[in-house]
Structure 1
Amino acid sequence: MLSPDDIAAIADELAEADRTHGVIPRITARYPDATVEDSYAIQGVWRDRMIASGRRLVGRKIGLTSKAMQQATGITEPDYGVMFDDTVFDSGSEIPTRRFSNVRIEVELAFVLARPLAGPDCTLDDALDAIDYAVPALEVLNSHIELEGRTIVDTIADNAAYGAMVLGTERRRPDEIDLRWVPALLSRNGEIEETGVAAGVLGHPATGVAWLANKVAQHGARLEAGEIILAGSFTRPMWVSRGDEVRCDYGPMGVIACRFV
């Protein structure tokens, strides 16, 4: 395992890369014995520094929960990161591309919790009972670690590659719609690039919420009422560049649109 000094130094590197929109060498290339627990420790130091600087935590993202994403990255274990208030955009927003590195889009559902949810034995039914509503969301990936050869350790340390999210306006309670069958048609500049249905995330997108509650319980935490939980993508990531118009049609859950500037 990494020493506290190594963990702090890597957290500093990632904070600087975030500030300058840069990319650093893979952690696992320099510290081949680094573990998943090391990577969450790095993320935790970075998170605490962001909170100390005045940023407000609004939720968490789950990643690598679908076969599409696992095949796209070569990583088969889900992960999670944190989300701050200054990373949330409404549908129709202009997204400043310069804020991010290796910019890609993922198609997801987000869940807002009506009450706290704690592991370590949380089930899908527990998660559905705790959820206030689901809302469609696009995640903007933001990778500060070189992509070639990266592992789960690199991804987790880099806050699970989270950059921002764009939230839709259509809200549904879990008892109002079969969330497994929420569709998505993801377009860039008018051309459909990816399609999928939400069941691609662990068979039911809210399964990821239960997984997350159990995972954070290992670190002495729980999910709190009001938190936004991004459940994981059910399409492969789509690369975007400045000037791109992005649109995602979620059928009965409406449309999200944004433009990268």
Structure 2
Amino acid sequence: MIEITHLAKKFAVENPKKLSEQERKDPRLQGKYFHSVKNVSLTCKSGEVLGLLGPNGAGKTTTLRMLSTALKPDSGDIKIAGKSVVKTPLIARRSIGFLSGATGLYGRLTGRENIAYFGQLHGMSASAIKQRISALSSLLELDTFLDRKCDNYSTGMKQKTAIARAVVHSPELVVLDEPTTGLDIMAAQTVLAFIEGLKQQGIPVIFSTHHLDEVAQLCDRVSVIHHGQTEFDDTLTRFKALAPGSLHQAFMAVIATGDA
């Protein structure tokens, strides 16, 4: 189970004059600090998929980066199976598979070499890496390009390879930041099927998305962040009940509440 409680993270504004008009009007801008995340709490149990929703700039990516231990929160806590990610980040990283918004693949390496390298970083043996890559290649349909250099990959190839790299060590939790952005329909469906497979294995998945059809297809829970705060965190059924027949209207209802 993943428990995120009262997370907060602010950043110093180096040059306020360079802020856009929209940024100046954001209520999170307070003096020389921008409070990207002010108060975010959510939960996700084993075998659940949680869809993290919110407008652009709401604080979703900052929240996920804190969950991945890439950023340390100013306050609040994150626990995986009762263990604090904030207090023991090195231990927590072994439990997390994280895909950021940018794939970050090494272009001069092949997909296989990229995945294997991260397996080595996690202390996996050569035989275990080989077996895991074979399994992931089948699940994510990597066979046709796995041994080509990543410089020559399409967006879909890069994204699927990056997902394989993120989960090569069989993590206890998988965190995906907009995993289907820029993908064609077939590649997106492969990724969604993979997420469904993780769910069937009892692995909790948290992923941010702007595609409400993905939420309807996969999610057990929904969390909505607006202006750096959790405005909704509950089951998909209760989210749907906010505006029967339209997830879009349900989302807009939550956002309107946060603006009130």
TM more than 0.5: no
Q: Which has the higher helix share?
A: 2
Relative to the length of structure 1, the TM-score reads 0.23
- Give 1 or 2 for the bigger CA radius of gyration: 2
Relative to the length of structure 2, the TM-score reads 0.23
